[in-house]
Structure 1
Amino acid sequence: MRVELSDEARRYIGRFDELTDVAPKDCLVEGERLVFLIPAGEMAAAIGQAGETVEEVERRLGKSVDLVEDAETPEAFVASALAPAAVNAVTVSEQNDRVAYVEVPEPDRGVAIGAEGRNIETARTLAKRHHDIDDVQLT
């Protein structure tokens, strides 16, 4: 799928790349929060030792930064988007709408949902943009 980025998102991607030598595939600009989609296998470089790299990015950009690692399958992608919540299983329904049903242990439901539903909404947005998934639901 082709993702259309705003000029602002493109600028943040370019700046993130300059600061980390990791080129994000996508960027969601959500007020004072940026969510970067990191290519599979490059998360360690994006975070840096003890989180130093991402902390420097936050300082330089003046925004909170969250990172999501890309994955090849829709199921792995949704699980990655909900990290650090523990995900036991993801099933993608191929009925009228494509819905990812995510099995999360009860103690991790709050983490998966996030403050004011922020984490699950981010997962929904990224899953739609990159895997044409219409909804993400916790079970």
Structure 2
Amino acid sequence: MPNIVITEEELRYAALFESITGITPRDTIIDDKYNRVIFIVDKNFAPLAVGKNGINIRRLREHLGKDAEVVEYGEAPEDFIRNALYPAKINSIKITKLPSDGKVAIVTVSEEEKAVAIGKNGKNINRAILLAKRYFDIESIKLT
């Protein structure tokens, strides 16, 4: 995992997340482009973080004045990308090296799931790209 620098504002949001959910996030990312804060939690902790009927997410939104999203961490880039694209049903993910020494993730989804994977205004695919770059130096994600 690359060195990740957390800002003071992200630390404040992480503390708020922990006080509302009781779960310590692995990472907190402010995404101003989509007016959201993305919280990365350990495997199997997303349902607890979201809360019954999404109550914790609603509370976070009220306090933050932004959308709050929870993504489960995955040790393997394929697992993390799959989690970041949730709720889209992914058929396969293949990480390929580029001639420029970069990496690209080729994600295969059914035609019906493409819209879910992309999300409104590209919100879901951009979340996955942001996280793939931050954690695994993957430059882009291609949906097929």
TM-score between both structures, scaled by the size of structure 2: 0.89
Percent identity, aligned pairs only?
35
Out of 48, 51, 55, the position equivalent to 1:52 is 55
Q: 2:88, 2:116 within 8 Å by CA — same for their partners in 1? A: yes
Aligned pairs for 1:83-94 within 5 A = 83-94=86-97
User: The residue matched to 1:134 in structure 2 has which SS?
Assistant: strand
Aligned to 2:80: 77
Q: C-alpha separation between the residues in 2 aligned to 1:101 and 1:129?
A: 17
The superposition leaves residues 66-86 of structure 1 with CA deviations (integer Å, 9 ceiling, x where unpaired) of 111111111111111111111
Residue 118 of structure 1 corresponds to 123
Give the match for residue 112 of structure 2.
107
Cα RMSD (Å): 1.4
Q: In 2, distance between residues paired with 1:67 and 1:106?
A: 25
Query: 1 CA distance for matches of 2:118 and 2:20?
Result: 30
Displacement of 1:62 after TM fit?
2.2
* 2:70 aligned with 1:63: no
* Distance (whole Å) between structure 2 residues aligned to residue 97 and residue 30 of structure 1: 23
Partner Cα distance (1:137, 1:37) in 2: 22
Q: 1:40 aligned to 2:32?
A: no
Q: Partner of 1:98 in structure 2?
A: 103
Kindly state the Cα deviation for residue 128 of structure 1 after the two structures are TM-superposed.
1.1
How much does 1:19 deviate? 1.1
Q: CA deviation at 1:60?
A: 2.4
Q: TM-score, normalised by structure 1?
A: 0.92
